[in-house]
Chain A
């Protein structure tokens, strides 16, 4: 079964601090994504990547950076965390053809 593992599962960060969310997939997928989910909203695309060492901006990239050091790993980086970035973050992977597989999410609270 396709597996996307996110770490940590939850985190409390201080405003202005740096936060790194990690994602690891064992699906051998080339495509990886970071989404953000806010209460009452669907998922919105932050960054995505089609190949290692290359990332692309999604619909809401401001305040976020992404890193794809290998096919399996995709990180989301908040250089200066802000209160407005409190949300649940989902990583996903896929082949671009049939299905996108999601991790269980990381609940980030910025205080």
Chain B
């Protein structure tokens, strides 16, 4: 069965600094990968998704992620964080080609220091 590991439960970054949130996946075959963000007391919103092709994918609000098959990773990056990025970020893999029956990591809480 597929799985997703987010090794960092919490990441603290200064406002304006760069960000990387780590995600490792386990999947037999070609994975379809997602990053979602959850703001306080809200549902999950899609940041970006990876479908087989260009390994670097662009998302909303300046986020991007890079897929690496050799490292089984799909790390999320942002060049300069803003206080409004304070949220929980989830990495997920689809059970099928596309977006279906997502398996999520435990999430990473991003804290922004002024």
Nearest residue, chain B, Cβ from A50: B100
In A55-95, which residues have CB < 8 Å from any B CB?
A: 58-59, 90, 94-95
**Pairwise interchain contact A102-B44, C-beta atoms closer than 8 A:** yes
Q: Is the C-beta of B79 less than 8 angstroms from some C-beta in chain A?
A: no
Say what secondary structure dominates the interface of chain A.
Answer: loop
**Which residues of B lie under 8 Å from residue A45 when comparing CB positions?**
101-103
**Which residues of A lie under 8 Å from residue B44 when comparing CB positions?**
43, 90, 102
**Pairwise interchain contact A42-B98, C-beta atoms closer than 8 A:** no
A91 to B5, CA, bound (A): 23
A23 to B29, CA, bound (A): 33
A44 to B110, CA, bound (A): 21
> Which has the most chain A C-beta neighbours within 10 Å: B92, B99, B104, B105?
B99
Of B36, B100, B105, the residue contacting A96 (CB under 8 A) is B100
Nearest residue, chain A, Cβ from B96: A96
> Which has the most chain A C-beta neighbours within 10 Å: B41, B44, B102, B103?
B44
Q: How large is the interface on B (under 10, 10 to 19, 20 to 34, 35 or more residues)?
A: 20 to 34
Q: Is the C-beta of B9 less than 8 angstroms from some C-beta in chain A?
A: yes
Known contacts A4-B43, A42-B107, A98 near B101 by CB under 8 Å: no
Known contacts A4-B43, A40-B9, A90-B44, A100 near B102 by CB under 8 Å: yes
A41 to B5, CA, bound (A): 11
Q: Is the C-beta of B74 less than 8 angstroms from some C-beta in chain A?
A: no
**Which residues of A lie under 8 Å from residue B103 when comparing CB positions?**
45, 59
**Which residues of B lie under 8 Å from residue A58 when comparing CB positions?**
101
Known contacts A4-B43, A42-B4, A96 near B98 by CB under 8 Å: yes
**Pairwise interchain contact B90-A103, C-beta atoms closer than 8 A:** no
Nearest residue, chain B, Cβ from A56: B101
Q: Is the C-beta of B56 less than 8 angstroms from some C-beta in chain A?
A: no
For this complex, 5 residue pairs linking A to B, each with C-beta atoms less than 8 Å apart, are A40-B106, A42-B90, A43-B102, A96-B96, A97-B99
